[in-house]
Amino acid sequence: MASKIYNFRKGEILLVDKPLEWTSFDVVNKLRYPLKKKYSIKRLKVGHAGTLDPLATGLLVICTGRKTKEITSFINDVKVYSGIIQLGATTPSYDLETAINDTFETAHITQELIDEVKLQFLGEIDQVPPIFSAKKVNGKRAYNAARKGEEFELKSNKITIFELELTLKDNHEVHFFVKSSKGTYIRSLAHDIGKALNSGGHLTKLRREASGAFDIQNAQSIEYWQKEINECEVGDLEL
C-alpha cells in the first residue's frame, strides 16, 4: 500500500517523465482513466501544464481536480531543455517528423563560430513558429494545413532566451542546453541556429529538464503513476 494519501479530486500535481512518441494528451488520458475508476465517477478534470511534442521526452506537469485551475500559471513558467541539433540538413518540420528536404556544407563549422552566433539568440528575440505546429491558420491547425501542402505564413512571437549553451560534437551535432520563456519553440530555435551558421539544422533530440519549480529528477514514469493511483489511499471523497 502506498505510504501517501492522495486527494485527486481536490487536486494533485503529478510529475511525469513523458516517453518518446507519446503525445501530451496520451499521458493525460492514460492517467484520467484509472483516476475515474478509483473514484467510480464518469468525469474528473485532468490536464497538462505545457505541451511536449511526441518526439520529445521529459517533464510533463499533470494537474488533477482543482489543481487544474493553476495550469495557466504553470504554463507561464520558465522552461529548461536539453537536446541535439544536427547541422548540415533541414526538414520542413524542423525535426525528425519529416524527411530531409535540403543539405548544406558544414566544413566551415567550428566551436568559435557557434559561440559567436549564439550571442544573437540570447535575450528577447522574434521567433516564427514551425509550420508543423498547433498554431491556428484561418481557423485550423497549422500542421494540418502543412501536411496538405498548403502555403501560408505564421507571425513571429516575442520570446526570451535566458541561457543557451551550444557544444559542437562529432558528425556536426550540436548538444544544447536552453532556458527560455513560455511560447518558445525549440524546433524553431534549432532551425534558426542552423540558418545563422549557414549550415542548416534540425532538431534530433529534445528533453524537458525543468518547468518553473518542477524538475525532471522528481518525475516518475506513467506506469509508476498508474500503479500509485491503483494502490494508494485516497483522502476525503467530498469536495
| Helix (H) or strand (E) segment spanning residue 12 | none
DSSP string, 203-216: EEEEEEEEETTEEG
Cell (9 digits) for 14: 503529478
Q: Which amino acid is at 1?
A: M
Q: Decide: 230 and 34 in contact? Cβ < 8 Å.
A: yes
187-201: b (≥16 Cβ within 10 Å) or e: bbbbbbbbebbebbb
Query: Which candidate, 37, 64, 48, 62, places its Cα nearest to that of 230?
Result: 37
Active site (catalytic) residues: 53
